[in-house]
Chain A
């Protein structure tokens, strides 16, 4: 990754010098236009090859008395699973040619109850490049964990969620957490 960063910076610097000489020496444009052009140019140069990740979908669970294990006198069922491929993830803008990456997962609590645990597993491989790992439930914490790896552009990678720890000890309310997928070039 660092080699790519250095390479990217070097390319940018070289292009910058080219542009600098051409604009200042030949075209004689104003400094302001020159500076603005440089910023735009450098930003584009630096970001065009960025790996990107897109999530489609989400998961909402509504629990009520119908979710009691055996009616009045019993507790709530503790575990719930979403449908398979509840959420789809696309990885795009890879450099191609076997460009490898990994995806980390974490959560950022909005209004969460610590008795609740949320798990995620990969249920399909999508189309395009390749993916590996992540096919077993992983407990999502507030700290990034490596989830699965892959290469090239892949679209439609499916994921399933599991909720655990539900009981009547959790007061009625709406609990929400943001699941964060991060693709990292490797």
Chain B
């Protein structure tokens, strides 16, 4: 009971009324207790008890567990990739007498594409040419597993759609079929068509 034994004023008072702590411990401590409890305002005491309990309860979880956190962040960039396989060569060198030169077809190249776009994309194709394109028609048909093929389309210097309706897909090795037709107006020699495929918003 720290604090009690040093209450000399009370001790003196008790001695003055004839109570000696060495002879009557029980009575001594009862009087000490009564003195202290009377002097302590009970309302304040109850308030203090409530506050201490409240603070203790608030503090207990901190005592029991502690947390810290950090973020894991994943940034996924827009991916719209298109690739075609190697160059092909088509030769127009035959004709049925009385008919235009015989058309030539090639289905040896492929188109690969990937997009993670949630909004629809399409693939367009257009060409640039060296050697002139007079009298020559180049058509392309692109297969598509995930989108919609536009079928056989005539290519030109202005890009046209070959596949539409692409969203969040990855289609490898989609067959590209080229058809070349030439008229008598086409000059003899090499005509190099560089076909560019582009994925764009629909």
Binds A, one of B12-20, B96-104, B130-138, B164-172: B164-172
CB under 8 Å from chain A, chain B span 45-84: 45, 47-48, 51-52, 55-56, 59-60, 62-79, 81-83
B79 contacts A76, C-beta separation under 8 Å:
yes
B48 contacts A47, C-beta separation under 8 Å:
no
Docked pose: A184 CA to B2 CA in angstroms:
35
Q: Contacts of B59 on A, CB cut-off 8 Å?
A: 42-43, 46-47
Q: Taking CB as reference atom, which chain B residue is nearest A21?
A: B3
Docked pose: A58 CA to B70 CA in angstroms:
6
B81 contacts A181, C-beta separation under 8 Å:
no
CB under 8 Å from chain A, chain B span 11-32: none
A138 within 8 A of B: no
A97 within 8 A of B: no
Binds A, one of B86-94, B109-117, B186-194: B109-117
B185 within 8 A of A: no
- Which of B70, B81, B82, B112 counts the most A-chain CB atoms under 10 A from its CB? B70
Q: Contacts of A107 on B, CB cut-off 8 Å?
A: 72
Task: Find B52's partner among A16, A89, A181 (CB 8 Å cutoff).
Answer: A16
B72 contacts A161, C-beta separation under 8 Å:
yes
Chain B: minimal CB distance from A75 (Å): 5
Chain B: minimal CB distance from A43 (Å): 6
Q: Contacts of B51 on A, CB cut-off 8 Å?
A: 35, 38-39
B95 within 8 A of A: no
B81 contacts A72, C-beta separation under 8 Å:
yes
How many A-B contacts if CB must be within 8 Å?
Answer: 207
A65 contacts B81, C-beta separation under 8 Å:
yes
A61 contacts B75, C-beta separation under 8 Å:
yes
Known contacts being A18-B3, A62-B77, A74-B172, is A118 close to B47, with CB within 8 Å?
no
Docked pose: A4 CA to B173 CA in angstroms:
67
Q: Contacts of B68 on A, CB cut-off 8 Å?
A: 53-55, 89, 180-181
A58 contacts B62, C-beta separation under 8 Å:
no
Docked pose: A176 CA to B72 CA in angstroms:
6
Chain B: minimal CB distance from A4 (Å): 8
A73 contacts B55, C-beta separation under 8 Å:
no
Docked pose: A87 CA to B51 CA in angstroms:
40
Chain B: minimal CB distance from A134 (Å): 16
Docked pose: A155 CA to B21 CA in angstroms:
56
Q: Contacts of B112 on A, CB cut-off 8 Å?
A: 71-74
A72 contacts B71, C-beta separation under 8 Å:
no
Docked pose: A22 CA to B2 CA in angstroms:
9
A9-52 interface code vs B (CB 8 A; 1 in, 0 out): 10011001010111011100001001100110011001101111
Q: Contacts of B174 on A, CB cut-off 8 Å?
A: 73
Pick 12 A–B contacts, CB within 8 A, sort by A: A8-B60, A38-B51, A68-B114, A72-B81, A74-B112, A75-B170, A168-B170, A172-B117, A174-B76, A175-B76, A179-B72, A181-B67
Using a CB–CB distance below 8 Å, which chain B residues touch chain A? 2-3, 7, 36, 39-40, 44-45, 47-48, 51-52, 55-56, 59-60, 62-79, 81-83, 112-118, 168-174
Instruction: Given contact pairs A63-B74, A73-B114, enumerate 20 new A-B contacts (beta carbons under 8 Å).
Output: A4-B63, A5-B63, A43-B59, A51-B66, A60-B72, A63-B75, A68-B79, A73-B171, A75-B114, A76-B116, A166-B74, A172-B77, A174-B75, A175-B75, A177-B72, A179-B70, A181-B68, A182-B66, A182-B67, A183-B65
